[in-house]
Amino acid sequence: MKNFKRRISLLLLVTMFLTLLSGCGNKASSGDSSEDGVIKFKMAMIDNENSNYYKGAMKIAEEVKLSTDGKIEIEVVPGGSLGGERDTVELAMSGNIDIATAANSVFTNWIPEMAILDQAYLWENADQAHAAVDGELGDLIEEKAKGLGLNVVGYMESGFRNVFSKKPIEKVEDFRGVKIRTMQNEYHMGAFESFGAIPTAMAAGEQFTALQQGTIDAVENAVSNCLANGFYEVTDNITYADHAFVYILIAMSDNAWNKIPEDLKEPFLEGMKKGYEAQREYLVEANEEAEVELKKLGVKFHDIDKAELKALYEKWGSKKKIQFDPKWEAAVEKAK
């Protein structure tokens, strides 16, 4: 009788154990949803927590949560912890990262038509630049991205880029012989070549040391970048060249996009838009605040004849016989 009771107890314990295992298995297969049904995504970015880009990304997360009544949450992962821009875009394509953020020039690796955005002096002002990606040009980008397994859900930006140099650059002739770091980009490098400078492609992380060691004489970026990354310690001058406008695309994997229920997709995009439009304002504020602080630190600001620079670049482009897809050219002209 005792043996029989022991067997019954053992059978009950085994049954309970198997039931628990079954329940754990169901929870593990619930994807990125938490126990209360909240859908959670991770957004990768290379910028640090002190940047206006991170502030903008956090605003995106806040607005998405509000617009979806807390049903979708975004965790922002800054500082390149999940990889560089190209790495994270590729991971999003394969569905291994939810949301990647990267400059438009990075996307030309897979969407060559996007090189049209790399031209110097493409836009006269930020309103034109916004009209392009918020309109027909944005539609063309998003259509191409879908073929890569990506959903472009927004456009942050680093805006117009300017020149940080050791020596003053106040007129076109001052560019002659200046060794300037640029991105590995045919059109950005072509612009400085047309100005008479010596463009040098270099990883972003190598710029500061290269300036210290005299390998290069100048770098180019948004004004706020000069303050945030300490370039004022090795460059005394900033020239308002406004030679290129850079977007930061927000690209979501198909895998992540398909986890959003149909009734939440529109609210999700509305929250995303409110967030990235706020980042555009944060960038303007950051640049203005940086100028004030940099002047206190002894940095001198210079204007330059942009029309002359633009003419030199266009002359370079005509020699290269650069042509773009007619549809994309038409969309650019419409934005202008």
- Side-chain-side CA neighbours of residue 135 (13 Å): 15
Q: Which long-range contacts (CB under 8 A, 24 or more apart) does 107-113 make?
A: 107/141, 107/145, 107/249, 107/251, 110/148, 111/141, 111/144, 111/145, 111/148, 113/140, 113/144, 113/324, 113/325, 113/328
User: Distance between CA atoms of 252 and 83, rounded to whole angstroms?
Assistant: 15
List C-alpha distances in Å: 107 to 70, 319, 333.
31, 26, 21
User: Distance between CA atoms of 45 and 317, rounded to whole angstroms?
Assistant: 33
For each of the domains in the chain, give its residue range(s) and CATH number, in order of start. 36-159+246-289 (3.40.190.170), 162-244+298-335 (3.40.190.170)
43 phi, psi to nearest 5 deg: -110, 120
What pLDDT, on the 0 to 100 scale, is given for residue 17?
38
DSSP per-residue letters across 194-246: HHT-EEEE--GGGHHHHHHHTS-SEEEE-HHHHHHTTGGGT--EEEE----EE
Residue pLDDT, tens place only, 49-91: 989 999 999 999 999 999 999 999 999 999 999 999 999 999 9
User: Distance between CA atoms of 36 and 24, rounded to whole angstroms?
Assistant: 16
User: Distance between CA atoms of 160 and 245, rounded to whole angstroms?
Assistant: 4
Report the candidate in 315, 45, 40 with the shortest Cα–Cα distance to residue 172: 315
pTM (two decimals):
0.85
Does 41 have pLDDT greater than 50? Answer: yes
User: Distance between CA atoms of 48 and 214, rounded to whole angstroms?
Assistant: 27
Contact assessment for residue 148 and residue 90, using Cβ atoms and an 8 Å cutoff: no
User: Distance between CA atoms of 252 and 239, rounded to whole angstroms?
Assistant: 36
Conformation bin of residue 152: beta by default, left when phi > 0, alpha when psi is -120 to 50: beta
Contact assessment for residue 120 and residue 313, using Cβ atoms and an 8 Å cutoff: yes
DSSP conformation class of 184:
S
Residue pLDDT, tens place only, 125-139: 999 999 999 999 999
Contacts of 197 (CB under 8 A, 6+ apart): 175, 176, 177, 178, 179, 180, 218
Considering the chain, what is the average pLDDT of its residues?
90
Residues 263-283, mean pLDDT to the nearest whole number: 98
Does 290 have pLDDT greater than 50? Answer: yes
Contact assessment for residue 214 and residue 208, using Cβ atoms and an 8 Å cutoff: no
Alpha helices, H only, the chain: 2-28, 52-67, 85-93, 104-107, 126-133, 136-146, 186-195, 207-213, 223-228, 254-257, 262-296, 306-320, 326-335
Residue pLDDT, tens place only, 204-214: 889 999 999 99
Does 23 have pLDDT greater than 80? Answer: no
Residues 284-311, mean pLDDT to the nearest whole number: 97
